[in-house]
Structure 1
Amino acid sequence: MARGHAGERLHQTLRPAYQQIINGIEEASATALDVPGTLTLGSMGPEGWQIREIVDWFRARHPAARFVHRELNAVDPLTPLRSGEIDMAHLWLPVREPDITVGPITHT
């Protein structure tokens, strides 16, 4: 589809800013792989063992990172996530909380 004059101008105007955003994301991603840190995962009961392959993949991809696993209370598993005590939680779905981002399903 051919661009009109206004569309072409907009494309030319926004292209450098768009490229800066892409470059910034790529630089931050590359830096994050090299910076050691800690990832704290919370899970309930034996659920933590069911994602062993994912944990192993993370450790292989981020060898400098420290991995910590915490057991979560099944009655209130979201408080440690909201307070920052853990970085992510492996929970049973559904989780429908406006301040919680639900990621990929690991198993059913």
Structure 2
Amino acid sequence: MRRLVEVSLRGLDIDLHAAADGYEAVEAISRLRPDVVVLDIGLPGIDGWEVLERLRADPETALARVLVLTAHAEPEVAAQAVAATADDFMTKPFKPGVLKASVERLLTPR
């Protein structure tokens, strides 16, 4: 999945970093302080919900825009993403162009 995200975002003027698990994601987000995070809920280690909670709790990363990716298309999962302060929500499988457009939108200043 990481590779598909990377390929989907080619052509954007961004620095792209990937994490193998939730712990690595928290560390990378804390260190890099990205503007946008594409966050898979099904991460090993700690899941994406916990990563998002930690990201929002840290004043240094709290304003990062977050696009949640999940294989769960149930409406309650989308509602949980909104309640967890995600900025966008997308189910897998996704269309690369749709992911790219969503990230471009999130990169636009508020």
Bin for the TM-score computed over the shorter chain: under 0.3
Q: What TM-score does the superposition give when structure 2 sets the normalisation length? A: 0.21
TM-score scaled by structure 1?
A: 0.22
Compare CA radii of gyration and give the structure with the larger one.
1
